[in-house]
């Protein structure tokens, strides 16, 4: 398992680097364009649920393809694997990164956040948890593991970026090299863990495991 994780992290590093570069470009545009924080918040709460859908789909599909378990286990694996890892990637790591950079950051947990979504006015927790259930349903009925990794990386990178600019107050330009580092870490390890390692922890011994990630 350790060799597998190392191999997958190495394979995913180039995609993640590219995603981090696009994130930095977006941050420069946001800063130089004086984009209001509420626009970043709307962008975050659009991208984060989409990331949750994709993560739940991939995690559930991977488990169903190689685990063949009961439906309640698939739901548990899909929900915890998507909500938990997407929250770590999109929220926790950016928040910790901003705090380490001495940036004034707000902390939100979207899957339990009772305040309403920008624009549509629906409670945030309803949207995020519904996104997880949609991804689980798709992954359960159609074991689609060939999800374009570039799309997953960009969704996660941009969600993490917009968390910085939506809930952090700073002049970001001098901090860009360190922001890039946190964007890279926020995507690289959590995405591999969610899509590959986590669901396979629930596969029974003796089951055939994939030789490599099928994205």
> According to the model, what pLDDT value does residue 211 have?
44
**Contact in structure between 90 and 163 (CB atoms under 8 Å):** yes
* Cβ(35)–Cβ(165) below 8 Å: yes
**pLDDT for the residue 213:** 47
Q: What is the pLDDT of residues 68-124, one digit of tens each?
A: 667 888 898 889 988 988 899 999 999 999 999 999 999 999 999 999 887 788 999
The Cα 214–Cα 155 span in angstroms is 18
pTM across the whole model: 0.85
pLDDT for the residue 113: 94
* DSSP output for 65-121: HHH---HHHHHHHHHIIIIIHHHIIIIIHHHHHHHHTT-EE----GGG--SBPTTT-
Going from the C-alpha of 100 to that of each of 26, 52, 72, 105, 196, the distances in angstroms are 22, 26, 39, 10, 29
Would you list the domain boundaries of the chain? 2-200
Q: What was the pLDDT predicted at 199?
A: 65
| Rounded CA separation 213/62 (Å) | 10
Low-confidence ranges of the chain (pLDDT < 50): 206, 208-209, 211-215
Task: Estimate to the nearest angstrom the gap between the alpha carbon of 92 and the chain centroid.
Answer: 11
Q: At 34, list the tokens.
A: 């004086």
Q: What is the pLDDT of residue 16?
A: 80
Question: Helix, strand or coil for residue 123?
Answer: strand
Q: Among residues 207, 175, 29, which one has the least CA distance to residue 97?
A: 175
pLDDT at 200: 66
Q: How far apart are CA 132 and CA 136, in angstroms?
A: 6
Beta-carbon contacts of residue 73 (< 8 Å; ≥ 6 apart): 63, 67, 202
């Amino acid at each position: 398992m350790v060799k597998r994780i190392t191999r997958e992290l190495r394979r995913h590093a180039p995609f993640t680097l590219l995603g981090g570069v696009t994130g930095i470009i977006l941050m420069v545009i946001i800063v130089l364009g004086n984009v209001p924080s509420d626009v970043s918040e709307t962008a975050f709460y659009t991208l984060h649920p989409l990331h949750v859908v994709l993560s739940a789909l991939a995690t559930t599909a991977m488990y169903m393809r190689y685990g063949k378990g009961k439906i309640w286990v698939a739901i548990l694996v899909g929900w915890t694997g998507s909500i938990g890892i997407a929250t770590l990637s999109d929220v926790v790591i950016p928040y910790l990164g901003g705090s380490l950079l001495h940036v004034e950051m707000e902390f939100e947990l979207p899957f339990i956040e009772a305040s309403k979504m920008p624009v549509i006015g629906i409670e945030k927790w309803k949207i995020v948890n519904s996104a997880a259930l949609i991804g689980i349903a798709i992954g359960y009925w159609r074991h689609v593991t060939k999800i374009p990794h570039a799309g997953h990386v960009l969704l996660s990178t941009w969600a993490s970026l917009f968390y910085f600019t939506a809930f952090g107050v700073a002049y970001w330009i001098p901090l860009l090299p360190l922001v890039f580092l946190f964007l890279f870490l926020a995507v690289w390890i959590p995405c591999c863990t969610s899509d590959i390692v986590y669901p396979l922890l629930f596969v029974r011994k003796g089951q055939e495991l994939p030789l490599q990630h099928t994205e």
